[in-house]
Structure 1
């Protein structure tokens, strides 16, 4: 099974394969209805749609971040409605270089499903290759109960990171844009800045000019330069709400550097607690 990225050519060869499940997770923070409209207007044939807010997040409380993780059982049940089985190869796509697709990639690994990959280049690459799309609602698939397996990924909490500030081994890597990391131009969260001691790796730096992931050796060299001697097992990926942080986790996997963990609540959860310290600047 494929567990990082797949090409448009490979997916095109498997469009009629019932063992392959294609899922569209296009989303716009400024327009939550965008994804459903875009899917209805045109999507990869046979694809299903999952919504970042409604299907891949739990309700917010004002203290648990903008996109808290749902329960594993609830998420597994939703995937069962789409027909997920242990033999299913899932391919996830969006139209923004994997910006939101990576959330579902990580979550499926979170419930122990290894056969999930992101479509490299997303829908723009699919269209550029002259491949077909279809409009309308998703075609139903036979439902299947999903047995949750041991997680293939790791996560840490705000409490873990707060304790780590006293000199612990964890190294936070923030996937937000450099200006937001510095505490400038913050428009999504009420407080600007970053977790003290964090490094910045903007998720878009994982992509080449063509919108595809950079080659594995290039990604590896860039992450090794960023991390210096920090073992990847000590790395904690973070962003604004736990979504684009997964882009860095996928890039690390492509680079052959597995083992980093996610802080799901990310900055939106961290800054909601006035007891948490905040750093600004580079």
Structure 2
């Protein structure tokens, strides 16, 4: 199954499909109520797709929720192992949409797709939005595995960034990677040895993913001969990195890992920091 689905695909509005609208930010619920796809369940990045961190130095600003909590959330949304789930956000899958796709795939749920182009693709196609809050019918607890798969912890990232046969990809914008600015975390810069590939390079001017062939060229130019399972992707807090991981899956590059803690964890642990100025 392709990780992407188009708004023209009738499965998006099939009554059997679990449709989830993921929003981020303080006014997330208000934006959802202002207009969302009919029968879409409201979800938030901060409350449903992340735990509230006690210390960002241990897991970053958006640590994954416990598996027990994630299972309860899936149950509340009516998702069982056979459900076809379609997710979207209003940020071209750069925020909650791709994060939820990755989380579901990480616990073994393969029947999940992200709406290519997100909410904008729907409005561009003339879909009439709903302002009603849709309530799902809960089901029994989702059978979650013992751990999230395809994740990398900070010690593995330290080693991978120094290894010739591994690649660590930082998908933040170039100014943050180079250490020119840092709007969200305490210190500017990047992990020494990490390469920069801004996540939005995967998007067309219309806000949809590039073709799978174009994405394969984009990512392979960065990865080179490194095996996909030896690639680690990160961002500021483990969210927009999922956008790149989804693009890689669409391009046929399967198996890269997510460093969930990302720069928000690394930069708080008194570890080496590279910038354009220091040349590390």
Which range, TM-score by smaller chain? over 0.9
RMSD: 1.7
> What pairs up with 1:21-60 in 2 under 5 angstroms?
21-27=18-24, 32-60=25-53
Query: Does structure 2 retain, via aligned residues, the 8 Å contact 1:67–1:241?
Result: yes
Query: Does structure 2 retain, via aligned residues, the 8 Å contact 1:236–1:260?
Result: yes
Give structure 2 stretches of 5+ with no counterpart: none
* Superposed displacement of residue 3, structure 1: 4.5
- 1:184 corresponding residue in structure 2: 180
Query: Does structure 1 retain, via aligned residues, the 8 Å contact 2:4–2:115?
Result: yes
Give structure 1 stretches of 5+ with no counterpart: none
* Superposed displacement of residue 234, structure 1: 0.9
How big is each residue's C-alpha offset from its partner over 1:68-126, in whole Å with a ceiling of 9 and x where there is no partner? 11111210111111110111111111111111111101011121111111100100010
Question: What TM-score results when the alignment is normalised by the length of structure 1?
Answer: 0.92
- 2:119 corresponding residue in structure 1: 123
* Superposed displacement of residue 35, structure 1: 1.5
> What pairs up with 1:16-165 in 2 under 5 angstroms?
16-18=14-16, 20-27=17-24, 32-60=25-53, 61-64=55-58, 65-100=60-95, 101-149=97-145, 153-165=149-161
* Superposed displacement of residue 257, structure 1: 0.9
Question: What TM-score results when the alignment is normalised by the length of structure 2?
Answer: 0.93
> For the residues of structure 2 that align with 1:21 and 1:13, how far apart are their CA atoms?
10
Instruction: Give the paired residue count.
Output: 274
Name the stretch that deviates more: 161-170 or 248-257: 161-170
* Superposed displacement of residue 133, structure 1: 1.1
* Superposed displacement of residue 185, structure 1: 1.8
How big is each residue's C-alpha offset from its partner over 1:22-76, in whole Å with a ceiling of 9 and x where there is no partner? 111122xxxx322111111111000001111111111211313110111112101
Change (3 A) 1:272 1:205: same
> For the residues of structure 1 that align with 2:229 and 2:131, how far apart are their CA atoms?
43
